[in-house]
Amino acid sequence: FRGTLARLLGSAPSGRRGGPGAVLLVEFSADDAGEARNGLDALETTLAGGALAGLVRAELPEQQREIWALRKAGLNIAMSMPDPRKPIAFIEDCVVPLSRLPEWHDRLTRVLERHETRAIWYAHASVGCLHVRPALDLSRADDVWRLRAIAEEAFAVARELGGTHSGEHGDGMIRSEFLEPMLGPRLVAAFEEIKRRFDPDDRLNPGKIVRPPRMDDRTLFRHGPDGAAAPPAALDWSTSGGFAGAVGLCNSNGACRAFEPGVMCPSFRATADERHSTRGRAMALRMALTGRLGADPWDSPDLREAMDLCIGCKGCRRECPTGVDMARMKLEFLHRYRSRHPLTARERLLAYLPRYAPWVRRMHRLLNARERSPALARLAERTLGFAADRALPRWAPEAYEERGRERDSGARRGEVLLFVDTFTRYFEPEKADAAGRVLRAAGYAVVPAAVVGASLGQSSVRSRPLCCGRTFLNVGLVAEARVEQGRVLAAVEPWVKRGTRVVGLEPSCLLTLRDELPALVPGDRAAALAEHAVLLPELLVADGALDDLPLRPLPTTRLRVHGHCHEKAFGLAEQTVQALEAIPEASVDLIAAGCCGMAGSFGYEVEHAALSRRIAGLELLPALGRSAPGDWVVANGTSCRHQIADLAGVKALHAVEVLDAALGGSAPTGRPATPRPAVRSSGRTRSDL
C-alpha cells in the first residue's frame, strides 16, 4: 500500500512525496479517450497551485490497476491499526445531498472530536456518501456509550441535512432501531404488518427491520457482555495491541477464502470448510478470548479442531489485507494447549530431534530400516502415527559438522556465518558443502557455527549444534524454543555486532530467527540478529555477488522453482529466481503454485496425509506434470523437496546445489526419486477430510 502510494506520488508533477493525510480518486469515463483527457485537464487547471498540487494522472492501464488495488486495500489496511480502538462500521452508510456534503463533513468531525475519537473516511463522495468509521474499543463500557451517542447525533445531523442513515447498505441489527425517526411510525408499522403476515413465526432474519434490539446490546458484541480478557501471552504482541488485539485484526473481509493460486490458506482451499480458513480460526480464537467456549476455552475440542489444520504457512502474514498472522497465533494456542496435554510419542520425537540427533545419527542404518521394510513402516504407523505410505527423510551416513571446517580469512566480501540447520546437517549435508563452495567462490569468508561456539568456549555447540527452536515451536514448547534461541543469541552476538550476516539454507529455520525470535525473546539482541539473518540466495542478490561467480551453462536449460511458503510470505521467492537467472543460458520460471502440503511433519502424519496430498494436488503437482523430461525442479524447503519426491517422483534440488553445479561442482539431476516399497496405510485419517 505504502509502496504504491510512493510510486504514484513520486510521479506527480509537483514532485510531492511522503505520506498524505488523505487520497482523493477522481475518475473520468467517456466513449472517447480525448474527452476523458479533457476532463483531466480541467481538473488539473482547477487544482493548480492549491492544496492538492500532488495530482497524478493515471492514463495507463497498469497505473489504473494500481490505483484501484490501492482503493480496495485501503480499508483493510486501516482496519489493521494496532491500537485497541478499531474503526467500527455503524454510521458508515449515511448519505446527504451532494451540495451539503462539506457541511456534513464539518459537523460530523465536530461530533467525533466532542467524543474524543477519530475516524477513517472512506467512500465515494461524488454521490454524497462517505463511509465513516469511528475508532472505538467495544470491550470498554465508555466506548460502548460513545457508540450510541455518536450514532444518535450523526443520524440526527444526516436527517437535518436532508439525508438518510441508509444510503447504500442494509440496516440490519445496527440501524434498524433508528428507522422510525427517519421514516415515521406509519411506515415502520407497515413493515411490522408485512412481517407478521409473511413470517408469523419470525424465522427470517429475526431482529432486523422489525422489533430490533438496541444497537448497544452487549450480548450482540463479539467481545461478549463482560469484555475481552486475554490471558498472559507467551509471545510479544505489543505491536498488535496484545494477543486479543492481534486476533481482532481479522475484520472478516474473507480474503482467506480465495481459491485462486496463492499461499493463504492451504487447508481451506483443500477442504472448502470455513473452520479451516484464517477467518474461521480468528473467530474461534475470539470466542475463546471472550469466554464463549466455556471456562477453559484452550482445552475446547472446537478450538482444537479449528487450529489443527493451520499448517503454519505464514501466507496470511503477507496476503491477509489486515495482516492477520495465524501461524504465530497458533503458537500461542499450542502453548496454552500444551499446558493441559502432554506430548505424544511422535510429537516428542519430532520436537527433540535437534537434541538427540548428534548421538543417534551414528545408527543411521538402523534408523533408515523403516524405509526398506513395509512391515516396519506399518509398525511405525500403529505406534507413532507416521503414515506408512509416506517416505521419511533418510539419515545421512556422515553429518556436516563432523567433516571439519577451517575458518576462512582475507576474503574480499568479509565474513558470513553459515547457519546449518538440523535437517540439512543430518539428512542432506551435501547441501551445506555446496553452500560453502558457493559462498567462497563469491568472495565470502565462511564461519561455521562450530567455530563460533568454540571461540566462545561453548564446547556444547560442537557436540550439539545451534538450533533455531522451530521443532519445539511446532508442538507448543515455547520455553524449550527460548532455550535454543538463547544459545543462538549468545553464540552469534559478537559476530552480529560487527555486521556479520547469518546465512541459512532452510527457509523455515532461518526465517524463524527473523520472525518468531523477536516475539519470543524481545529486545535489541534478537532484533539485531533478525536484521542480519538472510537466506543464501537473498544474500547473493542483495550484495550483487552473483557477478563474481564464474558460472557456466548447466546440462539443462530450464529450471522450475517452487517457492517455500515462508519464502513467499517474506517476498523472497523471487530472489531464488534472480540468483538462478545468473547462470548462462538458463531459463528460470517460478511455478505458480501455493503450498506443497508437506509443512514440516504435517504430510507424514497419518491423520493429515490425505489432506497433504490434496493440497499438493491443487496446483503444484499439475504444474510439475507439465515439466519437460530435462527440466530441473528447484525447491529450497526440505519438506517441499520430500513432498515433490514422494508425490511427483522427481528429485528436487536446493538452489545452492544448482549454483554449485554451475561452478563446476558435481552435477545433480532432476532424476526420479529412489523408489521405496509399496506400503498401504491403515487408513486412520480424519473422517471429515
pLDDT in tens, 480-499: 999 999 999 999 999 999 99
Q: For residue 672, what pLDDT band results from cuts at 50, 70 and 90? A: very low
The backbone torsions φ and ψ at residue 368, rounded to the nearest 5 degrees and listed phi first, read: -85, -5
**Beta-bridge mates of residue 132:** 121
**Average pLDDT of 35-64?**
82
Other beta carbons within 10 angstroms of residue 655's beta carbon come to: 27
Q: Which residues pair with 457 in a beta bridge?
A: none
What digits encode the pLDDT tens for the residues 304-337?
A: 999 999 999 999 988 888 889 999 999 999 999 9
What pLDDT band is residue 676 in, cutting at 50, 70 and 90?
very low
Residue 617 exposure: Cα atoms within 13 Å on the Cβ side:
8
For the chain, report the end-to-end CA distance as a whole number of angstroms.
37
* pLDDT of 671 above 60: no
> Torsion angle of alpha carbons 197, 199, 201, 204, nearest 10°?
-160
Angle at 574 between CA 68 and CA 638, to 5 degrees: 125
Nearest-angstrom CA–CA distance, 380 and 370: 8
Q: Is the peptide bond before 565 cis (omega within 30 degrees of 0)?
A: no
Q: Which pLDDT value is given to residue 61? A: 87
Q: Compute the C-alpha angle 251/276/172, nearest 5°.
A: 40
Strands (E), 17-164: 86-87, 119-122, 131-136
Higher pLDDT, 397 or 66: 397
Instruction: Give the DSSP per-residue string, 380-428.
Output: HHHHH-B-TTSPPPPPPSS-SGGG--------TT-EEEEE--HHHHHH-
Residue 579: pLDDT over 70? yes
Task: Determine the average pLDDT of the residues in 549-563.
Answer: 94
- The model's pTM: 0.82
Phi, psi (degrees; rounded to nearest 5) at 675: -65, 150
Kindly report, residue by residue over 59-108, the tens digit of the pLDDT: 888 888 888 877 777 777 777 676 778 888 899 999 999 999 999 999 99
Question: Rounded to whole angstroms, how far apart are CA atoms 38 and 614?
Answer: 54
Number of C-beta neighbours around residue 357 at 10 A: 19
Q: Provide the CB-side half-sphere exposure for 647 (13 A, CA).
A: 28
Bridge partners of 146, per DSSP, are none
pLDDT at residue 168 greater than cutoff 60: yes
- Per-residue confidence at 46, pLDDT binned at 50, 70, 90? confident
In this prediction, residue 581 has a pLDDT band, given cuts at 50, 70 and 90, of very high
- Residue 687 clears pLDDT 50, i.e. is over it: no
Q: Examine the pLDDT at 17 and tell me if it is beyond 80.
A: no
Instruction: Inform me whether the pLDDT recorded for 403 exceeds 90.
Output: no
- Give one word for 551, left, alpha or beta, with left for phi > 0 and alpha for psi -120 to 50: beta
Q: What angle do CA 268, 273, 279 make, to 5 degrees?
A: 65
DSSP structure class, residue 671: P
Angstrom distances, CA of residue 74 to CA of 79, 80, 433: 9, 10, 46
pLDDT: which is higher, 55 or 515 = 515
CA distance 567 to 556: 25
CB contact at 8 A, 150 and 134:
yes
Contact partners, residue 598, CB within 8 Å, separation at least 6: 604, 612, 616, 639, 640, 642, 643
Res 497: pLDDT: 94
- Model confidence at 503: pLDDT above 90: yes
Pair 414, 445: CB distance under 8 Å: yes
Q: State the pLDDT confidence band at 296, using cuts at 50, 70 and 90.
A: confident
Give mean pLDDT, residues 627-634: 94
Query: Which residue in the block uniquely carries the three cell numbers 502440503?
Result: 597
pLDDT band at 451 (very low <50, low <70, confident <90, very high): low
Q: Which of 48-52, 162-166, 426-430 comes out lowest in average pLDDT? A: 48-52
> CA 281 to CA 284: how far, in whole Å?
5
Which range has the worst mean pLDDT, 93-107, 189-203, 263-277, 446-460? 446-460
Maximum alpha-carbon separation in the chain = 90
**Cβ contact 87:79 at 8 Å:** yes
Q: Could you give the strand order of the β-sheet that contains 533-535, starting from the edge strand earlier in sequence?
A: 445-448, 415-419, 501-504, 533-535
Give the tens place of pLDDT for each residue, 183-222: 999 999 999 999 999 999 999 999 899 999 999 888 788 7
Task: Supply the DSSP symbol for 674.
Answer: P
Tell me if residue 131 falls in helix, strand or coil: strand
Which residues fall within 8 angstroms of residue 289, CB to CB, at 6 or more apart?
Answer: 228, 229, 230, 243, 244, 247, 297
Nine-digit cell string for 235: 509471545
More confident residue, 9 or 596: 596
Q: What is the pLDDT of residue 18?
A: 55
517, 548 Cβ separation under 8 angstroms = no
Percent of residues, the chain, with pLDDT higher than 90: 64
Q: Do 576 and 563 form a contact (C-beta atoms < 8 A)?
A: yes
Mean pLDDT, residues 375-397 taken together? 95
Q: What is the mean pLDDT of residues 157-180?
A: 91
